[in-house]
Amino acid sequence: MRNFETGATRDTVEGKLSYIKGLDPAVMKRYLQYLDSHRKQADGSMRAFDNWKNGIPKDAYLDGLGRHFWDVWLLYNGYTAEDNHGPVILENALCAIMFNTMGYLFEELKPVEDSKPVEDDKPEEFEEFTINRQHSPRFKREGDWFVQDTGDKYLHSDLVLRKNMKPVSTGYFKTTEHARQTIRAYKAKPVLEIKEMVKVPRMNRTCDWWIHHVEDDKILHSDLVLRKNSVPLSTGYYPTKEIAEAYAKAYEEKAKE
C-alpha cells in the first residue's frame, strides 16, 4: 500500500503496467505526425487515423517492415535512401517501422473466433450451408473461412462441392462476404445444362442434343434416369433443343415431388 503525506492511500503499483514510464510522449507525437502526413489518398480525400484497423494482410506489413528497415540501415551507415516519393529521412523511416510493427501485432492480437456458423442477414439463403472458420496453429493464413453443406461436403470457390477443403486455393475464403457470394453463385448455378454434341465423322446422327446434370456430372436420358454417359444412344440424345428442354423440365418437376 502507498501512503501519501496528505493522508491518502492507494494500492501498490507493483505488478501494474506503467504506460507513462513505458512510452515517451515526444516519440508518440512524432509517430502521429507521421500518420497524419500519410492520410491523404490518391483521390484527395483523407483516410481516418484508425483506417488501418479495418484489416491489412500480415504479408503487406512484413513487406513494409523489410523496405523501411533497409532504409534505416542505409541511413545509419551514411548512405542516402529513396522511395517512390523521393528522399527518405531517418525519422520517417523509423515511424514507418513502428506503423508496420504495430499493424502486424494488431492483426496477431485479434481475438480468435470460435469455429461457429456465421449469422447472416438472410439466413433463408444459406439454410443448406454454414460458414465456419478454420483455426489451427499450423495454418497462418489470411483466408481461413470455409463453407460446409448439410451433407458434410465443402463448397469451393469454383462452385464445386468436394469431400474436403483441398485444394486450399479454392477451399478457403478470405472473408465471410466472399463465402456468401460463392454460396449465392452456387445456388444460382443451373442444375441441368442443355448442350449440343460436337459432331464427329463416324457419328452421323440427327440426334445431337444432350442434357448434363451439373452437380452429379451425369447425363439425363429420356427415361429421366441419370447415367454416367450417353449410352444407350437412343435415350441419351435428343433430336432438337426444344425436346431436350422439355425433358429437362420434366426431370425438374419429378425432382420436386
Q: How far apart are CA 110 and CA 70, in angstroms?
A: 28
Which DSSP helix (H) or strand (E) runs through 218? strand 218-220
Average predicted confidence (pLDDT) for the chain: 82
CA dist., res. 113 & res. 216, Å (int): 35
Smallest CA-to-CA distance from 106 within 64, 53, 174 is with: 53
Q: Name the E strands within 38-197.
A: 82-83, 86-87, 129-133, 145-149, 154-155, 161-162, 192-196
CA–CA dist 220, 244 (Å, integer): 10
Range in 50-64, 85-99, 152-166 with the lowest mean pLDDT = 152-166
Q: Is the dihedral of CA 239, 241, 242, 243 positive or negative?
A: positive
Confidence (pTM): 0.45
The pLDDT tens digits for 210-236 are 888 877 778 899 999 989 888 888 888
Confidence check: pLDDT of 201 > 80: no
Q: Are 80 and 74 in contact (CB under 8 A)?
A: yes
Cβ contact 208:181 at 8 Å: no
CA distance 163 to 146: 13
Instruction: Give the full edge-to-edge strand order of the sheet including 154-155.
Output: 129-133, 145-149, 154-155, 161-162
Work out the pLDDT band at 143, boundaries 50, 70, 90. low
Q: pLDDT band for position 62 (50/70/90)? A: very high
- pLDDT class for 26, splitting at 50, 70, 90? very high
For the chain, domain boundaries:
2-109, 123-188, 192-256
> Is it the case that residue 37 has pLDDT exceeding 80?
yes
State how far the alpha carbon of 214 is from the alpha carbons of 58, 152, 160, 189, 226, in Å: 38, 19, 9, 9, 11
| Residue with the larger pLDDT of the pair 81 and 127 | 81
